[in-house]
Amino acid sequence: MKRMVKVLLTLGLLLLVLSGCGKKSTQGKDYVKIYDHQNHLLKKLTTAKSIRYFSDYVGDAAGSDTQTNANQKIDDKISKAKVSYKYLMHQAKGDVNSTMTVYSNVKYGSVDNIAGFGKANFKMSDKAFKTFNHPKQLIKKLEK
Amino acid 117: pLDDT:
63
**pLDDT, tens digit (0-9, with 9 covering 90-100), for 66-116:** 444 456 677 778 888 999 999 999 988 888 899 999 999 999 988 888 765
Instruction: Give 46-58 pLDDT, tens digit per residue.
Output: 999 999 998 888 7
What's the pLDDT score for residue 93? 85
φ/ψ region of 95 (left if φ > 0, alpha if ψ in -120 to 50, else beta) reads left
User: Model's pTM, two decimal places?
Assistant: 0.74
- Short-list 65, 69, 89, CA closest to 77: 69
In a 10 Å sphere around its CB, with 0-12 CB exposed, 13-18 middle and 19+ buried, how is residue 43 labelled? middle
Q: How far apart are CA 101 and CA 109, in angstroms?
A: 6
For residue 141, give every residue at least 6 positions away whose Cβ sits within 8 Å of its Cβ, in sequence order, or none: none
